């Protein structure tokens, strides 16, 4: 499995992969059901949030993706054109999305860290170690720089994977009137 950094021109392929991977995810299902709408959401996030300040890892055939944001770059800030695009994606669910984003921000790790915004593997490739391979680039960088990694696990299955990779639970949280999730932190590993 060859993991590489994606380019902005590959936004559509990465968005489609993430939408497929996360269509059954409890948080994304609560937030914005439907793979087509998720594809549009990921396209907007990639274009206006992740590509400008972070990195996207994928494979040559787009089997999965890891969206990584650097220390100090995790807070979502999009230009007006991005905000308009998000309004179009969410429609009547915009207030739900805004509440969710604010809830995540209030409960976000405050020390400098690399943030794994989204990690997803296309459904037909899940369970083959691809999520670990995609995450490895971020974890190696964290270890080299002596900085922790942080993410929010949305299922017990994903939390178990992250535990095997050295992530530690920071508790369990429940989105008001929504699903639960598990914030997790992985300390850097000394070489």
- DSSP string of 61-112, one letter each residue: T--EEEEEE-TT--S----HHHHHHHHHHHGGGHHHHHHHHHHHHHTS--SS
Best-predicted range by mean pLDDT among 7-16, 75-84, 87-96, 182-191? 7-16
Model confidence at 14, pLDDT cuts 50, 70, 90, reads very high
Question: For 15-73, how does the pLDDT look when each residue is reduced to its tens digit (9 = 90+)?
Answer: 999 999 999 999 999 999 888 999 999 999 999 889 999 999 999 999 999 999 999 88
pLDDT of residue 79: 72
Indicate whether 144 pLDDT > 90: yes
pLDDT of residue 191: 61
Model confidence at 129, pLDDT cuts 50, 70, 90, reads very high
pLDDT of residue 177: 85
Domain segments of the chain as ranges: 3-186
pTM, entire model: 0.92
Distances (CA, A) of 98 to 76, 86, 91, 147, 150: 11, 10, 12, 29, 21
What CATH code is assigned to 3-186?
3.40.630.30
* Of 39, 49, 124, nearest in space to 83 by CA: 49
Lowest mean pLDDT among 2-11, 94-103, 123-132, 161-170: 94-103
């Amino acid at each position: 499995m060859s993991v590489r950094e994606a380019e902005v021109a590959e936004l559509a392929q990465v968005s489609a992969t993430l939408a497929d991977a996360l269509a059954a995810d409890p948080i994304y299902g609560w937030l914005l059901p439907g793979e087509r709408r998720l594809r549009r959401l990921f396209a907007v996030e990639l274009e206006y949030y992740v590509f400008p300040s972070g990195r996207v890892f994928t494979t040559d055939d787009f089997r999965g993706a890891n969206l990584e944001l650097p220390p100090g770059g995790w807070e979502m800030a999009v230009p007006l054109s991005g905000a308009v695009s998000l309004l179009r994606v969410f429609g009547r669910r915009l207030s739900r999305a805004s509440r969710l984003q604010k809830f995540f921000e209030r409960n976000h790790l405050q020390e400098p860290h690399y943030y794994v915004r989204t990690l997803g593997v296309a459904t037909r490739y899940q369970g083959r170690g691809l999520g670990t391979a995609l995450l490895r680039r971020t974890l190696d960088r964290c270890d080299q720089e002596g900085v922790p990694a942080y993410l929010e696990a949305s299922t017990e299955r994903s939390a178990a994977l992250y535990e095997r990779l050295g992530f530690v639970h920071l508790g369990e949280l429940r989105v008001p009137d929504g699903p639960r999730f598990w914030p997790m932190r992985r300390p850097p590993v000394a070489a």
